[in-house]
């Protein structure tokens, strides 16, 4: 593997995407606040986008398709963040806390 031309090889992008996905899942399990989980979810979105872009540039016959896909992923991430944050604010108004441990009203 030629380090000088590492940016022209697909390997490092794919490994980096796997690393981002792993950190996202790690944070999703470890975090105990809703916003921390949301941030980990954004990392997972980024991992998927990077994977799409790498394979789009190195293996796909249509270079525009992957970019449009990533654009759609960004739009979905923005929509998801808007909804999740409004839910978090509504939860904070009702419970005066956003610790997921306190949100156990349905837990008999």
- Residues 28 and 40 sit within 8 Å (Cβ to Cβ): yes
Instruction: Restricting to residues 51-70, name those near other proteins by CB under 8 A.
Output: 53-65, 67-68, 70
Least Å from the CB of residue 47 to other proteins: 9
Considering the complex, state which of residue 39 and residue 103 has its C-beta at the smaller distance from other proteins: 39
Least Å from the CB of residue 106 to other proteins: 18
Q: How far apart are CA 92 and CA 39, in angstroms?
A: 18
What are the CA-CA distances from residue 25 to residues 19, 28, 103, 104 (Å)?
A: 10, 5, 22, 23
Contact between 100 and other proteins per CB under 8 A: no
Considering the complex, state which of residue 2 and residue 108 has its C-beta at the smaller distance from other proteins: 2
Q: How far apart are CA 35 and CA 26, in angstroms?
A: 15
Contact between 103 and other proteins per CB under 8 A: no
Contact between 4 and other proteins per CB under 8 A: yes
Q: How far apart are CA 62 and CA 58, in angstroms?
A: 10
Contact between 36 and other proteins per CB under 8 A: yes
């Amino acid at each position: 593997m030629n380090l000088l031309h590492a940016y022209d090889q697909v390997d490092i992008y794919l490994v980096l995407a796997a690393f981002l996905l792993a950190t996202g899942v790690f944070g999703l399990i470890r975090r105990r606040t809703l916003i921390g989980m949301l941030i980990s979810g954004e990392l997972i979105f980024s991992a998927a986008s990077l994977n799409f872009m790498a394979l789009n540039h190195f293996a796909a016959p249509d270079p525009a398709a992957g970019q449009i896909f990533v654009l759609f992923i960004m739009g979905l991430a923005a929509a998801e963040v808007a909804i999740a944050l409004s839910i978090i604010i509504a939860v904070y108004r009702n419970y005066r806390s956003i610790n997921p441990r306190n949100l156990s009203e349905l837990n008999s």
